[in-house]
Amino acid sequence: GENVEQHPSTLSVQEGDSAVIKCTYSDSASNYFPWYKQELGKGPQLIIDIRSNVGEKKDQRIAVTLNKTAKHFSLHITETQPEDSAVYFCAASKSNYQLIWGAGTKLIIKP
Amino acid sequence: ETGVTQTPRHLVMGMTNKKSLKCEQHLGHNAMYWYKQSAKKPLELMFVYNFKEQTENNSVPSRFSPECPNSSHLFLHLHTLQPEDSALYLCASSQEPVGSTDTQYFGPGTRLTVL
């Protein structure tokens, strides 16, 4: 069935450095790719998303890139700060409500 | 806050107990969801309601029984659970119903422990 693989499962970076999280999806018909951030004790919250007609999208320090041919997409966080520490989830969807989720990446920002 | 509240935040129950989880959204959304979140696993969609009608049941065991009395409230009734049902149960809502890629807004979850 459809699945989304997410790597790495844990990522530790020095404050101020960049972090990159990668996801690969299996269904070539997928056309919507959101990224959610989950802080301790909270539910996931959407931080950025991209649709298949766009190759890259930026919002301040975060950006997402999409390679439809290779069926993978990535989250880039620049100038990381302590508040970026959280679990990040990627997901893929075919224009329906059912998101297929990755297993999550725990991002640790070292001071 | 996201506008989606869940109660209780923590629940410990025995395998023979009956309990209910409650979710309320204050966003005027039309769709509501129940997810199960286990450690280091993808979120598992359990149930979807659009305009109070259940439109998805992802092969969830009958010991989980959802109820959606109106577009703002969603319940998950639990009975005779198993220890492997211990997890974080998340409720979410979205403005648009089936067929949309609308943003889902999540509550903080109920941490369930089955003894």
The β-bridge partners of B47 are B34, B57
The β-bridge partners of A59 are A62
Could you tell me the sign of the dihedral formed by the alpha carbons of B10, B14, B19, B21, in that order? positive
Q: Which tens digit of pLDDT belongs to each residue from B65-109?
A: 999 999 899 999 999 999 999 999 999 999 876 556 778 999 999
pLDDT of A97 = 61
pLDDT of B52 = 75
pLDDT of B15 = 87
Query: What's the whole-number mean pLDDT along residues B39-56?
Result: 86
Q: Provide the terminal-to-terminal Cα distance of chain A, rounded to the nearest Å.
A: 41
- The pLDDT > 90 percentage for chain B reads 72
Indicate if the pLDDT at residue B38 is higher than 60: yes
pLDDT of B98 = 59
pLDDT of A96 = 63
Query: What's the whole-number mean pLDDT along residues A21-40?
Result: 95
- The pLDDT > 70 percentage for chain A reads 97
Q: Which tens digit of pLDDT belongs to each residue from A53-70?
A: 889 999 999 999 999 999
Residue of chain B whose Cα is closest to the Cα of A30 = B101
Q: CA torsion A73→A88→A111→A56, rounded to 10°?
A: 30
pLDDT of B103 = 87
pLDDT of A58 = 96
Query: Which residue type sits at A83?
Result: E
Residue of chain B whose Cα is closest to the Cα of A90 = B42
Indicate if the pLDDT at residue A110 is higher than 60: yes
B93 contacts in chain A (CB < 8 Å) = none
Residue whose entry in the numeric block shows the structure tokens 């067929």: B99
For chain A, the residues whose C-beta falls within 8 A of a C-beta of chain B are: 4, 9, 32, 34, 36, 41-46, 49, 51, 89, 93, 95-104
A93 contacts in chain B (CB < 8 Å) = 101
User: Do B51 and B30 contact (CB within 8 A), yes or no?
Assistant: yes
Could you tell me the sign of the dihedral formed by the alpha carbons of B87, B92, B97, B99, in that order? negative
Contact A41 B40 (CB under 8 A): no
Contact A46 B107 (CB under 8 A): no
Contact B101 A45 (CB under 8 A): no
pLDDT of B100 = 60
pLDDT of B57 = 75
Arithmetic mean of pLDDT over chain A: 94
pLDDT of A54 = 84
